[in-house]
């Protein structure tokens, strides 16, 4: 059946399913996984255009951190037996197009995109942290730790974007609003389908 | 073993309630007798099952909860389990439920708690089969983890899991087509679909599937197709021991494996072709450049 043998292993990495609020955790992990996947593709798109420019190394470094995030959510997805969103192939393309498109606007454009996306993601992670703390901070301690750490790193990316003159992009506020609207829609959809 | 939640068909909440209750080792005599129901229906019926405590108190429902308080869901669950024994004779009908209620010492009017088309009875049965399958797969997994059994290759694992699940239909095979048509009623589709998808997901989980991309969906869709077609073949199969069905199943699983191998071959061939073309383009452009220089 499709997919290499590498994806099949003894399922000993399961997390105890009893007592957790499965619908809430499902949504959280599904949307975070989709988000990190999309972020990966955005940075890939930016690198495709700006990889050899002066901001190449900066983008590469942020991309590497996103790869680590995605890997972590892949593990959590298997451990909690969460279904990935159906829209993954779509986020694959859309993310790359967004990254490449914003990079074609120049280095500042790419940074503006980064600022917009990272701000959305940080806010989104904060909401999740609030939700989990309201549920049961003890039960979800590990998950909370992961999300807090990732939120801090996304915030760093946001700050790096600002440092690299994101705000000097022409039509910065329009671009930022449009991208954040797209992020909100992506989050809404990925939580549900 | 995943806990399943269903839309408000109450008899099903009984299954969930029962699973929770059995974790508190309250209902053991019931589950062991339901095992026997699956294996040898018409003949034996266990009178020993009755004295598992004081009788359920209908009148007690508005009153205090004692330790032996049985909820309506648990009661319905017991009736449906008892009714399974009468399905080969009466089909998935209110008669079977009435007979089941009788064996528990209840009035046949208890069948009035349920729909006349036997929906709850069928859904209850499917849910119980899925639970049995989960337990079986979990047991096998433990054996492999303890090193007492060999890990099966993926096609064998899928084949065995589907076969084990379909074998649970054998005692009821005459009446199963009727059950399938009831499961397809619009009213029942959310529940029956839910049961089907969680069963397929369970099988893949124990097979060791760790995909987190679109493969997650492809694999489950393929296995659902295999399961459904094999189930239909089984309805028509009159060979001894259903050997035609198992052979069909083996072929479908093998097809799926081939399809996946072909898919990855196509992908690597495609990548190789693209690289070849890129190399040719670079060569041609170098040749042009060197000719221009000369």
pLDDT digits (tens, 9 = 90+) for B241-253: 999 999 999 999 9
Residue of B nearest to A6 (CA): B210
Q: Mean pLDDT across the stretch B146-156?
A: 90
Is the model more confident about B155 or about B51? Answer: B155
User: Could you give the percent of chain A with pLDDT greater than 90?
Assistant: 77
Residues of A in contact with B19 (CB under 8 A): none
Non-local CB neighbours of B85 within 8 Å, separated by 6+ positions: B37, B41, B42, B45, B99, B100, B103
Q: Do A9 and B208 touch (CB under 8 A)?
A: yes
pLDDT of residue B53: 45
Length of chain B counted residue by residue:
294
Within 8 A of B144 by CB-CB distance, chain A residues are: 10
Tell me, what DSSP letter sits at residue B43?
Answer: S
Question: Do B18 and B77 form a contact (C-beta atoms < 8 A)?
Answer: yes
- By Cβ distance, the residue of A11, A74, A89 closest to B208 is A11
The span from the CA of A145 to the CA of B233, in Å, is: 51
CATH of domain A22-191: 1.20.910
Nearest CA in chain B to A19: B3
| Banded model confidence at residue B111, pLDDT cuts 50, 70, 90 | confident
pLDDT at B39 over 60: no
> What residue spans define the domains of chain A?
22-191
pLDDT band, very low/low/confident/very high, at B87 (cuts 50, 70, 90): very high
Q: How far is B48 from chain A (nearest CA, A)?
A: 32
Is residue B129 a contact partner of residue B179, using CB atoms and an 8 Å limit?
A: no
Q: Where are the domains of chain B?
A: 72-116, 119-255
Residue found by looking up tokens 């008899």 in the block: B11
Please say if the pLDDT value at position B30 is more than 60: no
Q: How does the average pLDDT of chain B come out, rounded?
A: 82
The pLDDT of B161-190, averaged and rounded, is 95
Q: Two tokens at B157?
A: 């694992």
Which H helix or E strand runs over A133?
A: helix A107-135
DSSP conformational letter for B61:
G
Q: Average pLDDT of B104-129?
A: 91
The pLDDT, as a whole number, for residue A12 is 45
Q: Which residues of B touch A84 (CB under 8 A)?
A: 212-214, 216
DSSP type of residue A87: T
Choose among A9, A10, A88: nearest Cβ to B213: A88
Whether pLDDT at B197 is above 80: yes
pLDDT confidence of B15, banded at 50, 70, 90?
very low
pLDDT at B29 over 80: no
pTM over 0.90: no
- Residue B149: helix, strand or coil by DSSP? coil
Contact B215 A17 (CB under 8 A): no
Q: Residue B154: its chain A contacts at CB < 8 A?
A: 1, 5, 8
**Cα A43 to Cα A30: distance, rounded to the nearest angstrom:** 20
| pLDDT value at B109 more than 50 | yes
Q: What's the angle, vertex CA B59, arms to CA B73 and CA B22, rounded to 5?
A: 30
| Two structure tokens written together for B292 | 């221009």
pLDDT at B196: 97
Residue B73: per-residue pLDDT: 87
Low-confidence ranges of chain A (pLDDT < 50): 1-7, 9-12
Is A81's CB within 8 Å of B2's CB?
yes
Tokens for A76?
Answer: 């959590």
Give dist(CA A167, CA B241) in Å, integer. Answer: 74
- Other CB atoms within a 10 A radius of the CB of residue B101 amount to 24
Instruction: Give the pLDDT score at B3.
Output: 45
């Amino acid at each position: 059946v499709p997919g290499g043998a590498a994806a099949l292993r003894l399922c000993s990495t399961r997390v105890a399913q009893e007592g957790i609020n499965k619908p809430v955790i499902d949504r959280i992990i599904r949307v975070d996984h989709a988000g990190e996947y999309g972020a990966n593709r955005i940075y890939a798109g930016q690198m495709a255009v700006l990889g050899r420019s002066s901001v190449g190394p900066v983008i590469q470094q942020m991309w590497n951190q996103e790869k680590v995030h995605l890997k972590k959510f892949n593990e959590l997805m298997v451990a909690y037996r969460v279904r990935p969103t159906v829209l993954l192939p779509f986020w694959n393309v859309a993310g790359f197009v967004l990254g490449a498109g914003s990079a074609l606007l120049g280095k500042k454009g790419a940074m503006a995109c980064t600022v917009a996306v990272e701000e959305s993601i940080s806010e989104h992670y904060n909401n999740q942290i609030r939700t989990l703390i309201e549920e049961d901070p003890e039960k979800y301690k590990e998950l909370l730790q992961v999300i807090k750490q990732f939120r801090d790193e996304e915030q760093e990316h946001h700050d790096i974007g600002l440092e690299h003159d994101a705000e000097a992009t022409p039509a910065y506020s329009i671009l930022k609003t449009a991208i954040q609207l797209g992020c909100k829609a992506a989050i809404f959809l990925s939580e549900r389908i | 073993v995943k806990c399943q939640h269903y839309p408000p068909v109450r008899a099903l909440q009984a299954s969930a309630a029962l699973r929770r209750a059995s974790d508190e080792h309250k209902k053991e005599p019931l589950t062991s007798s339901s095992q026997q129901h699956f294996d040898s229906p018409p003949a034996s019926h266990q009178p020993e099952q009755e004295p598992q405590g004081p009788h359920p108190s209908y009148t007690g429902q508005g009153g205090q909860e004692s330790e032996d308080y049985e909820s309506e869901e648990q009661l319905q669950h017991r009736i449906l389990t008892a009714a399974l024994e009468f399905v080969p004779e009466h089909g998935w009908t209110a008669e079977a439920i009435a007979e089941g209620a009788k064996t528990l010492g209840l009035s046949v009017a208890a069948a009035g708690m349920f729909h006349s088309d036997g929906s709850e009875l069928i859904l209850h049965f499917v849910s119980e089969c899925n639970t049995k399958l989960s337990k079986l797969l979990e047991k096998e997994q433990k054996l492999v983890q303890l090193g007492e059994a060999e890990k099966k290759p993926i096609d064998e694992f899928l084949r065995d899991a589907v076969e084990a699940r379909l074998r649970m239909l054998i005692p009821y095979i005459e009446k199963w087509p009727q059950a399938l048509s009831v499961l397809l009623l619009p009213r029942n589709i959310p529940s029956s679909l839910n049961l089907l998808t969680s069963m397929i997901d369970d099988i893949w989980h124990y097979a060791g599937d760790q995909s987190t991309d679109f493969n997650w969906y492809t694999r489950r869709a393929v296995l659902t197709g295999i399961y459904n077609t094999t189930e239909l073949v089984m309805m028509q199969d009159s060979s001894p021991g259903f050997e035609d069905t198992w052979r069909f199943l083996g072929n479908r699983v093998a097809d799926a494996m081939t399809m996946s191998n072909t898919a990855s071959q196509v992908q690597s061939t495609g990548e190789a072709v693209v690289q070849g073309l890129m190399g040719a383009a670079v060569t041609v452009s170098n040749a042009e450049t060197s000719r221009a220089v000369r």
